[in-house]
Structure 1
Amino acid sequence: MDYQEIKAKLRGSMTPVVTPFKENHAIDFEGLSALIEFQLENGTHAISVTGTSGEPSSLTEEERIKVIETAHKTINGRVPFVPGTGSTNHEETVRMTKKAEEIGADAALVIVPYYNKPNQHALYKHFKTVADSVDIPIIVYNIPGRTAQNLHVDTLAHLSKDCPNIIGVKESNKDFEHVNRVLLKCGRDFLLFSGIELLCYPMLAIGGAGSVSATANVLPGKVAQMHDAWFEGDVVTAQKLHYELMELNDVLFKDTNPAPVKAALGMMGKIEPHLRLPMDLPSEELQNEIRQTLNKYGINLQYA
């Protein structure tokens, strides 16, 4: 596979689309397709599913595959497709990544295994084994706040040199020194995506490729426009949009993602706002704050 070709395409706003559920908690596949169409209509540059925002730990392996298949069919090559295939279980991660390749995904997003807290040597072996098992490009997903382990820059740099299909990283890492050193050690052509909403613009400024922002589920056009402005050299507009998005970013992360995002999408009439336990919707107080914030942004609410 020509990894340079996909690296050139993977730029901008990659929305981590939520997994919509019906009232009986079955997956709403029609709703998923509609969410993806909403993204594409609003200029989103790439789509991901079954990452953190997609509640993958609440899905069976078979359900994850069906979500990936549905998303791939809906996207139909219009933008790059990068499903999340990682798990706390190594063999499951290998199987899911192979399945994503078989389905036709452009790349796979593979999270640092959560709960286990493997050491750096074990993390290297895990990611190298996954990368060696497929020809599909891999974007490593480092989110220490939810995995309880941070993938060190040196470990990532080692992987990027030893595995030609490890082409980038999604850094949900508030340590901005760390993310600067990723590009220093892995090379300026290594794809760096922000997974922290308030760092989406700053990461572009240091050479990042884009962001994977849960906020783009709710306001995809603005998030995409911020990236478009930056890549067109319109720094003033990019900065303006960065600050415009800040209040929405803040309210959507006052509870664990994707609960506030799903509440917002429910108010917008995009989905039935259901999560599977142990996740649940935010408090009524926070839902009221989300509703007020959406009104400030002029977002049309179906269920006020």
Structure 2
Amino acid sequence: MQQFIGTGVALVTPFNEDKSIDFDGLERLVNYQIDNGVNYLVVLGTTGEPATLTNEEKEAVKQKIIAVNNGRLPLVLGIGGNNTAAVVEEIKNTDLTNFDGILSVSPYYNKPTQEGIYQHFNAVASATTKPIILYNVPGRTSSNMLPSTVIRLANDFENVVAVKEAKGDIVQAMEIIKSAPKDFLVISGDDMIALPMVLAGGAGVISVIGEGLPSEFSSMIQLGLDGKVKEAYELHYKVADSIDLIFEEGNPAGIKSLLQKKGICLDEVRLPLIKASEQLQTRISDFIDHL
């Protein structure tokens, strides 16, 4: 699964002032990633606000990204939820021809047991031959997929190839790295500890700040993968404040504010999300001015 090593970015969905999809902004965003060293793109992950997109809009976003990317970078599609049958049905009814893998979040709100999480991903992995990247993000799902469950899935299903680990716990990540099958990829879902995870044996990151600062962040991750620790940490500390800034008032409000500063798209989001406050926008703008 070499295509999932390095820096993936979770693409936002740009909106116009009237909240319609800004397809020109989406084109600029995709090209900005490709031109600045990102390794792969994640389409309609939670950062892309799929919960507030219609099925028609999601399809339009997918087709636009496929067309703009034009085979230049691997694509990962977000398909997940807390209704296992519905997730399986969506996988079976989605044309996955242009996608290299699926990112699937652990079921949220229901708070399943570890056995429930295992059986959910049993059904997901059995519904397709495409590579599956598990996504553990307890801060959003209200349940933690334990290392033992991740490792069990990795051993039992050939197409469960990676986990996006976003608990923010380096010890948990190291436990998976230590015990998982040799070729299983542990991908950071937390930008602030992405470099330490890589240096501990992780495969890279699926990043939010990476789409705003793709050159700096992808260079940092590559330096980490190459074992160039000092140079990697110099870049880490250069961008670290921006990570705190973009998540201060929620995602993707913060990263959209940064992307607006960069002239890529507007900072519009859909309710129940709201735009970053003027104070935060000013601080993000000042950070970019001094980077």
Q: Same fold (TM over 0.5)?
A: yes
Structure 2 equivalent of residue 3 of structure 1: none
Question: Is the 8 Å Cα contact of residues 137 and 167 (structure 1) preserved in structure 2?
Answer: yes
Question: Among 191, 204, 210, which residue is 2:204 paired with?
Answer: 210
Unmatched 5+ residue regions in structure 2?
Answer: none
TM-score normalised by structure 1 residue count = 0.91
> Alpha carbons of 1:94 and 1:29: their partners in 2 closer, same or farther (altered >3 Å)?
farther
Structure 2 equivalent of residue 16 of structure 1: 10
Structure 2 equivalent of residue 50 of structure 1: 44
User: Which amino acid in the other structure matches residue 52 of structure 1?
Assistant: T
Structure 2 equivalent of residue 300 of structure 1: none
User: Which amino acid in the other structure matches residue 271 of structure 2?
Assistant: L
1:99 deviation in Å? 4.9
User: Which amino acid in the other structure matches residue 63 of structure 1?
Assistant: E
DSSP 3-state at the match of 1:252: helix
Deviations 1:178-232 (Å, cap 9, x if unpaired)? 1111122222421111111111100101111100110012110001111222233
Structure 1 equivalent of residue 98 of structure 2: 104
Question: Among 87, 90, 93, which residue is 1:93 paired with?
Answer: 87
Question: Is the 8 Å Cα contact of residues 86 and 97 (structure 1) preserved in structure 2?
Answer: no
Deviations 1:53-99 (Å, cap 9, x if unpaired)? 11121122332233222222222221211121112332332233345
Structure 1 equivalent of residue 150 of structure 2: 156
> Alpha carbons of 1:103 and 1:20: their partners in 2 closer, same or farther (altered >3 Å)?
farther
Q: How does 1:210-289 map to 2 (within 5 A)?
A: 210-289=204-283
Question: Is the 8 Å Cα contact of residues 12 and 210 (structure 1) preserved in structure 2?
Answer: yes
Structure 1 equivalent of residue 125 of structure 2: 131
Q: How does 1:158-173 map to 2 (within 5 A)?
A: 158-173=152-167
Structure 2 equivalent of residue 122 of structure 1: 116
Unmatched 5+ residue regions in structure 1?
Answer: 1-6, 298-304
TM-score normalised by structure 2 residue count = 0.95
Aligned residue-pair number:
291
Question: Is the 8 Å Cα contact of residues 69 and 103 (structure 1) preserved in structure 2?
Answer: no
Structure 1 equivalent of residue 137 of structure 2: 143
Question: Is the 8 Å Cα contact of residues 154 and 181 (structure 2) preserved in structure 1?
Answer: no
1:100 deviation in Å? 5.1
- When structure 1 is superposed on structure 2, of 150-159 and 182-191 the one drifting more is 182-191
User: Which amino acid in the other structure matches residue 279 of structure 1?
Assistant: L
Structure 1 equivalent of residue 35 of structure 2: 41
* Partner Cα distance (1:8, 1:249) in 2: 26
> Alpha carbons of 1:29 and 1:100: their partners in 2 closer, same or farther (altered >3 Å)?
farther
* Partner Cα distance (1:9, 1:99) in 2: 24
1:183 and 2:177 aligned: yes
User: Which amino acid in the other structure matches residue 12 of structure 1?
Assistant: G
Structure 2 equivalent of residue 4 of structure 1: none
Question: Is the 8 Å Cα contact of residues 14 and 266 (structure 2) preserved in structure 1?
Answer: yes
Structure 2 equivalent of residue 83 of structure 1: 77
DSSP 3-state at the match of 1:294: helix
1:256 deviation in Å? 0.7
DSSP 3-state at the match of 2:107: coil
DSSP 3-state at the match of 1:48: strand
* Partner Cα distance (1:155, 1:231) in 2: 26
Please report the RMSD computed on the Cα atoms of aligned residues, expressed in angstroms.
Answer: 1.5
* Partner Cα distance (2:94, 2:130) in 1: 8
- When structure 1 is superposed on structure 2, of 93-102 and 224-233 the one drifting more is 93-102
* Partner Cα distance (1:74, 1:87) in 2: 27
1:135 deviation in Å? 0.7
User: Which amino acid in the other structure matches residue 157 of structure 1?
Assistant: I
Question: Is the 8 Å Cα contact of residues 85 and 100 (structure 1) preserved in structure 2?
Answer: no
Identity rate, percent: 36
> Alpha carbons of 1:246 and 1:100: their partners in 2 closer, same or farther (altered >3 Å)?
farther
